[in-house]
């Protein structure tokens, strides 16, 4: 089954997919801070449904290397087009924001930068180093792109010693051409396996969305493949359509099904599993560690 963005009947959103509205004092303070420092968050750029909940708890996932992605994934709300110039002062400002927020755990991600030989790995390393210098003791998770399969780029990130290395598989192999244009399932698995080969001690993490037209056996196979690549932490959440220009929701997976996936994940040997309708890659990231 191929997924199409042709107009389809809208699938009503069930009650269990209602997230808190993005309001509140902490939400506004964080929004003002991000704007003042000229930073980007995946919370805003990807239209995450948990932004109200997370920002009111003073947590955010910072997105480096600009807010324009070189790939055109069918599910993602991040702007696509010609990439921005690399801002080498950005790591300092990210560290300042983390210090101001008093975070004990930070998540750093980026857009895809296929225009750069290292895929942006250098700025990940610089950001980790800036946080270590300014906020000693703060845990750091990096959610990295696939760097087009370049192991040397992953080495650059690993040499900066993040506390968690996250790379999402996003969906099942059959749907990659529609969902993750420019990515390859086997390449993502290889990069995750390489992290463990190079540094077996670092926790690795991956996540996928459901509701895009996959079947449960395909989801189970992805979970098995991730365990074969020695991934430690798994997140599974419901795909939500950011706009009519994006891939449609084929179905809403029920909370009972998510609970079943969570139980299966632990049976397979994952050390931590977050599985639920509103779960996203950085959801309760500190708890997983």
Using the predicted structure, report yes or no on whether residue 253 has a pLDDT greater than 60. yes
What architecture (CATH level 2) is domain 34-288? Alpha-Beta Barrel (3.20)
Q: Is 241:1 a contact under the CB 8 Å cutoff?
A: no
CA-CA distance, 124 to 122, in Å (whole number)? 5
Contact call for residues 163 and 128 (beta carbons, < 8 A):
no
Question: Higher model confidence: residue 239 or residue 287?
Answer: 239
Residue 170 is classified by DSSP as: B
Q: What does the pLDDT average to over 218-222? A: 98
Of residues 195, 182, 248, 192, the one with CA closest to residue 222: 192
Q: Measured between alpha carbons, how far is 265 from 259 in angstroms, rounded to an integer?
A: 10
In contact, 12 and 46? CB cutoff 8 Å: no
Domain boundaries, the chain: 34-288
pLDDT computed for residue 188 by the predictor: 97
| Structure confidence at residue 41 as a pLDDT band (50, 70, 90) | confident
The pLDDT of residue 45: 45
Q: How far apart are CA 224 and CA 220, in angstroms?
A: 6
- Tally of CA atoms within 13 A in the half-sphere of 211 that contains its CB: 25
pLDDT over 90 at 210, yes or no: yes
Tell me, what's the pLDDT at 235?
A: 96
Query: What tokens does 131 get?
Result: 């946080």
Minimum mean pLDDT range among 53-57, 128-132, 162-166, 274-278: 53-57
Helices within the chain (DSSP H only):
25-36, 42-45, 51-56, 90-101, 121-134, 151-158, 176-179, 185-198, 216-228, 255-268, 285-288
Per the CB < 8 A criterion, the answer to whether 22 and 55 are in contact is yes
More confident residue, 19 or 215: 215
Residue 210, strand partner residues: 238
Whether residue 23 is predicted with pLDDT greater than 60 in this model: the reply is no
pLDDT of residue 68: 79
């Amino acid at each position: 089954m191929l997924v199409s963005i042709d107009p389809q009947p809208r699938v009503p959103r069930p009650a269990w997919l209602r997230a808190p509205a993005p309001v509140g004092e902490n939400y506004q303070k964080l929004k003002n801070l991000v704007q003042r420092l000229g930073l980007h968050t995946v919370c805003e750029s990807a239209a995450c449904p948990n932004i109200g909940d997370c920002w009111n708890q003073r947590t955010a996932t910072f997105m480096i290397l600009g807010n324009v992605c070189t790939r055109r994934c069918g599910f993602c709300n991040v702007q696509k087009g010609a990439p921005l110039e690399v801002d080498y002062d950005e790591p300092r400002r990210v560290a300042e924001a983390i210090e101001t927020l008093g975070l004990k755990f930070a998540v750093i991600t980026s857009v895809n930068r296929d225009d750069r030989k290292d895929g942006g790995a250098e700025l990940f390393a610089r950001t980790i180093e800036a946080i270590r210098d300014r906020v000693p003791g703060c845990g750091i998770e990096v959610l990295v792109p696939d760097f087009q399969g370049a192991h040397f780029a992953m080495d650059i990130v690993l040499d900066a010693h993040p506390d968690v290395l996250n790379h999402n598989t996003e969906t099942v192999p059959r749907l990659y051409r529609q969902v993750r244009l420019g990515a390859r399932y086997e390449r993502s698995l290889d990069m995750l396996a390489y992290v463990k080969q190079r540094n077996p001690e670092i926790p690795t993490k991956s996540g996928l969305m459901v509701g895009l037209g996959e079947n449960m056996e395909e989801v189970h196979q992805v979970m098995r493949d991730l365990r074969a690549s020695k991934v430690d932490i798994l997140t599974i959440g419901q795909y939500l359509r950011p706009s009519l220009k994006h891939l449609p929701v084929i179905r809403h997976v029920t909370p009972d099904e998510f609970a079943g996936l969570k139980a299966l994940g632990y049976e397979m040997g994952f050390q931590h599993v977050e599985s639920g309708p509103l779960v996203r890659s950085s959801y309760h990231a500190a708890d997983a560690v």
